[in-house]
Amino acid sequence: MQLLRVIGFLHGNVLLLSSTIGTGIFVTPKGVLKYSSMNIPIFLSIWAVCGLLSLMNTLCLAELATTFPVSGASYIFLKRSLGSTVAFLSIWIKLFAYVLGFSVQSLLIASYLIQPLYSECSAPDLPKKCLALSILWSFGILNAQGIKTVVKFQAIGSLMKMAVLCLISLTGIVLLVIGKKENVSRFENALDAELPDASQIVEAFLQVYYSYLGASLLINIAGEIKSPTDTIPKSLISGLSIVTVLYLLTNISYLAVLTPQEITSSDSVAVTWMGRMFPSIQWVISLGISATLVNTLSCGMLSASRIIYCASQEGQLPFIYSMLNGHLTPVVGVILIIILSSIATIISDLIYLMKYVALGAWCINFLNMIALLKMRYQKPNLPRPYKVWLPFVFGSIALSVLIIFTPLIQSPNVEHVYQVVFLFCGLLCYWLLAHLNRHVVCFDTLTCYCQLLFNVSPSEDQGILIPSLNPD
């Protein structure tokens, strides 16, 4: 009983596109253009630079996943290099981020699907929440069917996403090639536009960067990837390159059809664009946004369940979460995620806590890079099939520091205190779990009952795939 290595280069790219391309490209250009002071060259440069920086950051994480080629590789790396406490805090932060993220995504999908039934008013909360809960549990069942089923589903969703983005991109290219004055005029005197100040560029950069999140999925499922040494770096380079080019072409198309003022005043730039170019098929964009959310939700569940699985094998979560069902999936971890997300969906005010875990997530990325440097220094003989260029590591550290401290310096507020409290709650939970594991003996009986209830079996230890930290 172990996770299957069934994801090759092609499927890796499918999952990468599914998890990375989100609603950001349909909505984010509004804020980015605003913070770029309507300067089109700066606006497009920020999208391109963020794509390169995202690639740099994920290639650093690729070294972790190829050194320890198991699911939850970054967690294993933190535990081996910085200790159990830091590793548990990473689980604590990621668990809350996933749960709240799934709640937000399921409610958004439900809103897009149910709103046409209430054309003259807002949809009521009760049917919206019921539909969101049904969506959550449907994808929980999908993930329980195994990694092969999830990949097949993701391939369909990725094709829908790519079709929508290609439609927008190709339309913009055709309009610029034809050379109509109203389409080309916005680019003619672009270099004469006002330059934004440094703080505005940072704000624009922060908004764009979230449109590239999701590439770490391959790191979290490294235990199910064929030949991870070759597949992970190649999939990251090819997948993120495709995403960056698509994002640039899509934004150029937005600018060819809409004025900067129209973009900054639109709540959904893609919907406004479609209403201008193809009003009769405006539903295509709504369908594309729904497909984007659905794909991201399914990928997130896949990633979250593998992190829980890994932490359970390492003894920091109950043993039942490391057991696999007949489809070789950690189904109990999936069920935990679905139950917690359902609670957050019912008590929908909890979704506003999402911003409180963002700082912690970037702190974990910073700690990953510190752990990588520490391991390079302390364990130079550790087998590293893939070794990232060292300046990339320092660049990723600088990026994390920028994202962590810029909001603290520019606009300090009480929310940052809440974020610190959230981290201390994680430490308290770690102490309680450690105490219970040592002193409570009824866990074994409860585990046996859960094993029978969910029809799961213990999996083989991933430790055999992890190189010794004392190879000499």
Contacts of 222 (CB under 8 A, 6+ apart): 65, 66, 68, 69, 70, 71, 73, 228, 232
Q: Which tens digit of pLDDT belongs to each residue from 347-374?
A: 865 545 555 555 667 788 888 899 999 9
Cβ atoms within 10 Å, residue 398: 13
Entry pTM: 0.85
* CA-wise closest residue to 421 among 349, 347, 356, 351: 356
Residue 245: predicted pLDDT: 93
Q: How far apart are CA 130 and CA 133, in angstroms?
A: 5
Are 308 and 337 in contact by the 8 Å Cβ rule? The answer is yes
In angstroms, rounded to a whole number, what is the distance separating the alpha carbons of residues 235 and 162? Answer: 17
Nearest in space to 105 (alpha carbons), one of 295, 334, 336? 295
In angstroms, what CA-CA distances link 118 with 103, 127, 149, 280? 22, 11, 34, 20
- Nearest partner of 202 among 40, 33, 35, 365, judged by Cα: 35
Tokens, residue 18: 């599914």
Contact 182, 259 (CB under 8 A): no
Q: What are phi and psi of 227, to 5 degrees?
A: 45, 65
Parts of the chain with a pLDDT under 70? 116, 119-120, 189-192, 282, 286, 348-360, 415-416, 434-442, 461-472
Q: How far is it, in rounded angstroms, from Cα 424 to Cα 433?
A: 14
pLDDT of residue 363: 80
In whole angstroms, give the CA distance from residue 34 to residue 49: 18
As a whole number of angstroms, the distance between CA 314 and CA 322 comes to 9
* Sequence-separated (6 or more) residues with CB below 8 Å from residue 127: 114
Q: Pull the structure tokens for residue 166.
A: 């290609």
Rg for the chain (alpha carbons), in Å? Answer: 23
Q: Domains of the chain (ranges plus CATH)?
A: 9-465 (1.20.1740.10)
Query: Quick one: tokens of 441?
Result: 């003996």
**Alpha helices, DSSP H, located in 347-469:** 354-378, 390-410, 414-439, 443-454
> Looking at residue 246, what is its pLDDT?
93
User: What is the longest distance spanned by two Cα atoms in the chain?
Assistant: 77
- State the Cα–Cα distance between residues 228 and 10, nearest whole angstrom: 13
Q: Show contacts of 442-449: CB within 8 Å, 24+ apart.
A: 443/318, 443/319, 447/318, 447/319, 447/320
Q: How far apart are CA 233 and CA 457, in angstroms?
A: 33
Return the ∠ at Cα 438 (arms to 325 and 452), rounded to 5°. Answer: 25
* Cα–Cα dist 47/36, whole Å: 11
Residue 37's region, left for phi above 0, alpha for psi from -120 to 50, else beta, is left
DSSP result, 168-212:
HHHHHHHHHHHT-HHHHHHHHTGGGSPPP-HHHHHHHHHHHHGGG
Task: Say what the pLDDT of residue 471 is.
Answer: 44
CB within 8 A of 413, min separation 6: which ones?
Answer: none
CB-based contact 310:70 (threshold 8 Å): yes
